[in-house]
Structure 1
Amino acid sequence: MAQMGQQSNQSMQAGMNGQGATISERELLQLALSDAKYTAAAINTFALECVSETLRRDYLTILGEVHSQEKQIFDLMQQKGYYTVQNANPQDIAQAKSKFSSQAQ
């Protein structure tokens, strides 16, 4: 991951199909994050539906590794300004908490 972060946007662009089309670093990271999310969801399903306890533990180990990779991609995207997240204001948090605590009762 660190090596990817050190490369410039120009060096991350790759020709596709000989047509001169390029993919930016941002697009590449977005694809990697989407792929990691999809992979995590699939492995989670495999683990939940697994009959063998040994295989289930293996899937959960792999799932942890995928989550770690996903976090590294996310952190890199945030660092580069490709993925910005706004903090929720306290009033919105209190409103959501109130809404969901009343539904649980």
Structure 2
Amino acid sequence: MAQMGQQSGQQMQSGMSGQGSNLSERELLQLALNEAKYTAAAVNTFALESTNDTLRRDYLTILGDVHSQEKQIFDLMQQKGYYNVKNASPQEISQVQSKFSQGQ
């Protein structure tokens, strides 16, 4: 088992130095964004299930920090053209509004 840990450490070191890493900048940013989304979901659950008010406030502070990081990654991806968001037309917005107002 010690040998496996040593091999993993060597793989991490070579990946961190850029050797043997085949991930593009876009893929790395996408991984970071996905990780931030998963972290936000987990921290949100922790906050919701916390019975201690102080701990809940701490989790909500952390959640705000995670959302800020998530937004920074998203903005960078959008700036680099890696994450393109199509703006909805006024007609599409109206259709969605109608759909949700009918459901209430």
Give your verdict on TM over 0.5: yes
In 1, the alpha carbon distance for the partners of 2:91 and 2:17 equals 43
1:62-73 to structure 2, matched below 5 A, reads: 62-73=62-73
Give the Å deviation of 1:14: 2.8
In 2, the alpha carbon distance for the partners of 1:60 and 1:87 equals 30
In 1, the alpha carbon distance for the partners of 2:26 and 2:80 equals 9
Answer whether contact 1:13 1:24 (CA < 8 A) is retained: no
Asked which structure has the greater CA Rg, the reply is: 2
Match of 2:103 in 1: 103
Match of 2:82 in 1: 82
Answer whether contact 1:44 1:63 (CA < 8 A) is retained: yes
Answer whether contact 1:39 1:66 (CA < 8 A) is retained: yes
Match of 1:37 in 2: 37
1:28 aligns with 2:32: no
Give the alignment's TM-score, normalised by structure 1: 0.80
Moved over 4 A (4+): none
Match of 1:46 in 2: 46
State the secondary structure of the residue aligned to 1:14: coil
Count the aligned residue pairs. Answer: 89
Identity of aligned residues (%): 73
Aligned-pair Cα RMSD in Å: 1.6
Alignment gaps of 5+ in structure 1 = 1-11
Q: Which amino acid aligns with 2:61?
A: T
Q: Which amino acid aligns with 1:14?
A: G
Give the alignment's TM-score, normalised by structure 2: 0.81
More helix by share: 2
